[in-house]
Structure 1
Amino acid sequence: MLPRSGDVLHVTRAASVQFRRPILFRVIRVLDRPTYDGWVWLEGYELNAAGDAVNRRSIFVQRAGLRQLQAAGQPRPHTVRSARRAPARGSMRVA
């Protein structure tokens, strides 16, 4: 699988030994650098659990070890966040 811009990937040790701790990664682009057969340079953002970008990075990984979680163009799943509401107003008496 060759990732595309916007894809969200689960990058684990299967992609490279440097990922002892798996990460979520949103692809910006596939870099055109010479590599070994089956390997690829990716530029993108490391994501936190809520899907927000926390770190921009370039990674060197095996294509066969990447797992796609979300294809480019699919809407991001909603996260539950507390909504801010205006304070409740009591009834006002006008004389």
Structure 2
Amino acid sequence: MRPQPGDLLRIDGRASVQFAGDRALTFRVVSVCPKPTYTGWVWLTGYVIDRRGQAIDRREIFVQLAGLHRATSTPAPSRSRVSRPYASAHDQGDGGAARDGSGLRARADAR
């Protein structure tokens, strides 16, 4: 298989011994180096993808074309959740509780 930008690949020991066993990874291809290398090998640039579908590391890897396989689909990246501060009984949503500190007193009293 000849990879293209955007391909999601499972890189394991079939592609190169450095990715054998627990070193296997899921890889999103960004670019394929056009320069000639050893026959059947290619340089790929892309991102290591975690189980949640998040890109966690940008890498360049040298792999055998015959050992490349499409990855089973991973979950779509989830949007990060915005954590919101604790809302006290005095908080009316206008920020007044944060400005005057009444929200902090309410939390301390709740303990």
Task: Give the alignment's TM-score, normalised by structure 2.
Answer: 0.63
Please show how residues 43-62 of structure 1 align to structure 2 within 5 Å: 43-62=45-64
For residue 80 of structure 1, report the CA deviation from its aligned partner.
7.6
Whichever structure has more strand as a proportion of its residues is 1
Determine if contact 1:4/1:27 at 8 Å carries over to the other structure: yes
Task: Give the alignment's TM-score, normalised by structure 1.
Answer: 0.73
Determine if contact 1:7/1:70 at 8 Å carries over to the other structure: no
The structure whose RCO (Cα within 8 Å, separation 6+) is larger is 1
2:5 corresponds to:
5
CA distance in 2, matches of 1:58, 1:41: 7
**One-letter amino acid of the structure 2 residue matched with residue 39 of structure 1:** W
Determine if contact 2:54/2:77 at 8 Å carries over to the other structure: no
CA distance in 2, matches of 1:78, 1:61: 26
CA distance in 2, matches of 1:30, 1:78: 23
SS at match of 1:50: coil
Determine if contact 2:52/2:78 at 8 Å carries over to the other structure: no
- How many residue pairs match? The answer is 84
Please show how residues 84-95 of structure 1 align to structure 2 within 5 Å: none
For residue 34 of structure 1, report the CA deviation from its aligned partner.
2.5
**One-letter amino acid of the structure 1 residue matched with residue 39 of structure 2:** D
Gaps of 5+ in 2: 88-111
1:34 corresponds to:
36
What's the % identity of the aligned pairs? 47
For residue 33 of structure 1, report the CA deviation from its aligned partner.
2.5
**One-letter amino acid of the structure 1 residue matched with residue 17 of structure 2:** V
The alignment yields a C-alpha RMSD, in angstroms, of 2.8
Mark the structure with the bigger radius of gyration. 2
**One-letter amino acid of the structure 2 residue matched with residue 40 of structure 1:** V
Distance verdict in 2 for CA 1:31–1:79, change over 3 Å: closer
